Chain A
Amino acid sequence: GAGVSQSPSNKVTEKGKDVELRCDPISGHTALYWYRQSLGQGLEFLIYFQGNSAPDKSGLPSDRFSAERTGGSVSTLTIQRTQQEDSAVYLCASSSGRTSGRGSSYEQYFGPGTRLTVT
């Protein structure tokens, strides 16, 4: 079946503009995660959705960042008033939400990412 997809693949925006990044998780996956990878860094957790529970927003770096997950499927990450330090690759991942066994919630499947450049 289809994997995780993200759009756009690349986004160049001017400082101060708002951007929206989209993630389509694997069908049937109840958990969805957003990460970002800045140049030369590892992946940094941003936000986590699990089913209908309140999202874990503990990784969002500022209140300019927000995310929604509509209908338990597609998610949108919004960055308002972008800054140059927001430039990074934003990665979305989904997992089954199962707690054990092969394909457990620990195993996350990543999309190709959106490369955001703020000029």
Chain B
Amino acid sequence: DQQVKQNSPSLSVQEGRISILNCDYTNSMFDYFLWYKKYPAEGPTFLISISSIKDKNEDGRFTVFLNKSAKHLSLHIVPSQPGDSAVYFCAASAREYGNKLVFGAGTILRVKS
């Protein structure tokens, strides 16, 4: 049972435009959500997070939106840059589960210059 789903395996965006990566979850116990970025042959790097008590968190070009009623979150990158090309993983966590992360399968983002 996949509790965190990223239904788009890949996304291609023109440089300067907005990238929107989507993530859905099924477990209502999740209370914290994170986005990680991964380059080939490297471990994932933390990008941005949001607590379930908020519906938006912004950090520079990156904004995460959370819709609890829909169990949906999204990552917006604007403007997109070629260096943003990577695999993006959505992850969810619950204090009751010891904060271990449940990851989606990832979305490959390609930003074309």
Contacts and interface: CB of A to CB of B under 8 A. Distances in A.
Interface in A15-69: 31, 33, 35, 40-45, 48, 50, 56, 59
Contacts of A45: 100-102
A33 B41 contact: no
Nearest to A3: B43
B98 A41 contact: no
Contacts of A113: 42-43
16 contacts: A4-B43, A40-B105, A43-B44, A43-B101, A45-B101, A48-B98, A48-B99, A50-B98, A56-B98, A91-B44, A93-B43, A95-B99, A106-B93, A107-B46, A108-B101, A113-B42
A31 B101 CA distance: 12
Interface of B: 4, 6, 32, 34, 36, 41-46, 49, 89, 91, 93, 95, 98-106
B93 A110 contact: no
Contacts of B101: 33, 35, 43, 45, 108
A67 to B, nearest CB: 13
Contacts, number: 58
B34 A107 contact: yes
Nearest to B2: A42
Nearest to B6: A42
A43 B103 contact: yes
Contacts of A31: 99
Interface string A61-100: 0000000000000000000000000000001010100010
Contacts of B44: 43, 91, 110
Contacts of A43: 44, 89, 91, 101, 103
B43 A107 contact: no
A105 interface: yes
B103 A110 contact: no
A40 to B, nearest CB: 8
Contacts of B105: 40-42
B89 A56 contact: no
Given A33-B101, A107-B46, 18 more contacts: A4-B43, A33-B100, A42-B6, A42-B103, A42-B104, A43-B44, A43-B89, A44-B103, A45-B100, A50-B98, A56-B100, A91-B44, A106-B32, A106-B34, A107-B34, A108-B101, A110-B45, A113-B42
